[in-house]
Amino acid sequence: MSIHREGYKILFFGFIFLLVLNVAAGLLWSEYTLFRWLFMIGSLTLYLFILFFFRLPERTLEPVEGLVYSPADGKIVVIEETHEKEYFNDNRLQISVFMSPFNMHSNRYPVSGRVKYVNHMPGKNIVAWHPKSSELNERTTVVIETAEGKEILVRQIAGTVARRIVTYARPGQEVKQGDELGFIKFGSRVDLFLPIGTELEVPILQHVKANKSIIAKL
């Protein structure tokens, strides 16, 4: 277990900010010992939560052709055939993984292949589990073409709490299943768009883990 690099600045400046607040509280409430202790305990709890959020567990994966692994930790909230408008402009099988603030938020490549498309779109910040969040929210879309020529679309979606999507994918890049695709800060969702007829391995509402749970067989 380690701390994700996306959390370094937040943890550093968060520590300084909370330290200053606690010093100020000590000076203002010098006669109120109980208030000072409660404020300090609250600050420590908040900092430990941020530390927990940016955890990065070791998740090694030996790539397997034909399998699609979960790109994120969370719960399956959508399994449906839908019309994907941004890249394919045809019907695809959509599987959506909702990540609460308590889930590990590092996103991984579900398949190996070559990155064909990367696009970031600004948008709204409605709750990430809402069906329309895939089209209306701030999002980044990544398309990977496998060695067999199949294209898999992964979409990182910001939610009500999430305010920053980080994507490491670049067009033309060769990527390996299980490697890190990006990170979404503080609550979000990841959508997968697979070819119609793909054999699913998960039911709706199942909890999944990146690099551990098999979503489908191509």
Alpha carbon distance 76, 202 (integer Å):
8
- Cα–Cα separations (whole angstroms), residue 138 to 106, 160, 172, 177: 18, 10, 23, 25
Alpha carbon distance 86, 65 (integer Å):
26
Q: Is 188 a catalytic residue?
A: yes
DSSP code, position 137? B
Of 106, 133, 134, 188, which one is the catalytic site residue? 188
Tokens 């606690």 belong to residue: 22
Alpha carbon distance 132, 170 (integer Å):
26
β-strand 55-56 against 2-3: which pairing, if any?
antiparallel
Q: Write out the catalytic residue numbers.
A: 188
